[in-house]
Amino acid sequence: MKADRQVSIEVFAPARLHLGFLDLHGGLGRKFGSLGLTLEELGVELTMEASPSPMATGPGAARALDYLAKAAHALALPAAAAIRLLRLMPEHAGFGSGTQLGLAIAAGLARLHGREVDPAQAAMAVERGARSGIGIGAFAAGGVILDGGRGAMATPAPVIARLPFPPAWRVVLILDPRRAGIHGAAETAAFAALPDFSPELAGHLCRLVVMRFLPALAEEDFAAASTAIGEIQARLGDHFATAQNGRFTSPAVAEALSLAQARGFTGLGQSSWGPTGFVFAESEKSAASLVAALEEALVRAPELQFRICQGRNHGAIIKESPRTKEG
């Protein structure tokens, strides 16, 4: 199949927060199970056009070319495409940057050739989604996503529930650019070295999600949703503490989260391996007040960055437009 369509493909793939695993025990035949939230303000943005040979420009170009080669091979498409990376999100910070970049490239390459590709198929093409399916769910539809964990099949964890994030609610992100979450081979080793995950803990986490957090979302009950997330995060943070030297990866982020908790915020924690922390706020005003208070209290920790984000209740955007002569 020739990449001779004179079109330019634009892709935006949103970031997500990993709010926690539900079952690392796996005694029922499925393991992990993830809860996630799609974010509006952060993501991967790129363009793709046909070219004589594979090429990429912009930050992360080498990684993009690797995903392009994998996607082309798995989808049986030529890799002759030029990728221009316009925007990325912080890597290894808890936003799913690798998955979203890979999905954007696989989906963009398919569209370049006049095809559509299912997000789960795209993830397998670029070898993503080994544990969590929430990045795939964020790409497909956005919102708050619950996946059912990995089973015996060699496919990504299926999304089993999706609810919109209330439009008035906000998420305050606490970023520590000096640090990176565990990833790659170190992540695999960290999972192998974790203490046993009891079926009782898995059962309690599942109950918190299904019988407290998701119903609270459906009813827009901020207090109930926040306390559920806070307890889920506390239980998981303690379980992962041996691998990340405490409940949270970054001591500075941990201090900021402690200050937020002292101000009455209960829906807080760390996305994936961090270092990014997050705090649920009931409104833009509440979020802005919290950020102002944290900036004032943490003047000795200028490395921290704060962002106020909305939940994103729709997935990736893929646009096709005629290619300009200059392109």
Instruction: Evaluate if residue 296 carries a pLDDT over 90.
Output: yes
pLDDT, tens only, 187-225: 888 888 899 999 999 999 999 999 999 999 999 999 999
Confidence category of residue 1, pLDDT binned at 50, 70, 90:
very low
Per-residue model confidence as pLDDT tens digits over 55-75: 999 999 999 999 999 999 999
**Are residues 103 and 20 located together in one domain of the fold?**
yes
Co-location of 181 and 100 in the same domain: no
Domain that holds residue 270: 166-309
Instruction: Answer whether residue 185 shows pLDDT above 50.
Output: yes
Tens digits of residue pLDDT in 113-145: 999 999 999 999 999 988 899 999 999 999 999
148/176 same-domain check: no
Q: In terms of domains, do 281 and 318 share one?
A: no
Question: Which residues make beta-bridge pairs with 317?
Answer: 12
248 vs 325 pLDDT, higher one: 248
The number of residues in the chain equals 327
The H-or-E segment that residue 170 falls in is strand 170-175
59 and 141 fall within a common domain: yes
Residues 175 and 319 in one domain: no
160 and 170 co-located in one domain = no
Residue 178 has pLDDT above 50, yes or no: yes
Query: Does residue 176 share a domain with residue 151?
Result: no
If asked whether residues 181 and 35 sit together in one domain, one would say no
Residues 74 and 214 in one domain: no
Cβ neighbours around 172 below 10 Å, total: 23
Of 325 and 211, the structure prediction assigns the larger pLDDT to: 211
Q: Could you tell me the CATH number of the domain that includes residue 12?
A: 3.30.230.10
Segment 216-241 mean pLDDT: 97
Q: Are residues 132 and 232 in the same domain?
A: no
In whole numbers, what is the pLDDT of the chain averaged over residues? 94
Tell me if 263 sits within 8 A of 274, measured CB to CB: no
Residue 19: which of 180, 147, 184 has the closest Cα?
147
Sign, CA torsion 12/278/184/150:
negative
Number of domains in the chain: 2
Beta-strand relationship, 268-270 and 305-309: unpaired
Same domain, 87 and 228: no
